[in-house]
Amino acid sequence: MPDFSDELTAKREARVTLLTARRALTATQRVDAAASVVAELVTLVRRLRPRRMTGYVPVGAEPGGPDLPEALRAALPDDAELLLPVLRDDLDLDWAAYTGAGALVAAGRGMREPAGPRRGESAVAGAELVVVPALAVDRRGLRLGRGGGSYDRALARVPRATLTVALLHDGELVEALPAQPHDRPVRAVITPSGGLRTLGDAPGVDPPTSAGRTWVP
């Protein structure tokens, strides 16, 4: 059996570096980054008009800011559904519909999640747009999370044709990240300065240009 201890150590070290950099951001930098990332994501949502999508409530210095779910709900068609994650005891993700900030409750690991009925772990498979957090993503689309494996399990349920997008700060789209077999890639990222970029060999995109690739719904 392969020994991935070096990759695991490298991941831990990368998380420390990335979290330290996020904590060093000023309040103004966080607000400005959130505004840019949300504006780009809202533009994408209005263009794709998904009938169901997933989002999350950013924690701490995560890109997007605490008002991200409300911005997404406002951008969706009236009959569309926004699902947010609900952390299970085994660190897998269930999902529930976002119905407003007043219906969010405090949960583990600093998260806030919907208090409504659970839709089951497989609900993410029916989403047409999946938005996830990340500490960093590399040029292949491989994502570095916080180490619980929650989103790797969720992304394993998402069809390959679905657009999966990670929200990042500038400097968090990197050349390469240490990876393990269970790691699941995303197909695109949004950064404050770079906007939307698709990654790796994601299907359904235009050929590369000097400005990166552009998603073609």
Structural domains in the chain, CATH included, are 5-198 (3.40.50.10420)
The average pLDDT across 180-198 equals 90
Are 44 and 196 in contact by the 8 Å Cβ rule? The answer is yes
Would you say residue 122 has pLDDT above 60?
Answer: yes
Would you say residue 72 has pLDDT above 70?
Answer: yes
Comparison of pLDDT for 208 and 117, the residue scoring more: 117
Greatest mean pLDDT range, 57-66, 72-81, 98-107:
72-81
User: Of 148, 211, 208, 196, which is closest to residue 48 (Cα–Cα)?
Assistant: 196
pLDDT score of 202: 52
pLDDT score of 166: 97
The conformation of residue 33, written as its DSSP 8-state character, comes to H
Q: pLDDT grade, residue 146 (50/70/90)?
A: confident
User: Can you tell me the distance from the alpha carbon of 134 to that of 132, in angstroms, rounded to the nearest whole number?
Assistant: 7
Global pTM reads 0.87
DSSP reduced 3-state for 95: strand
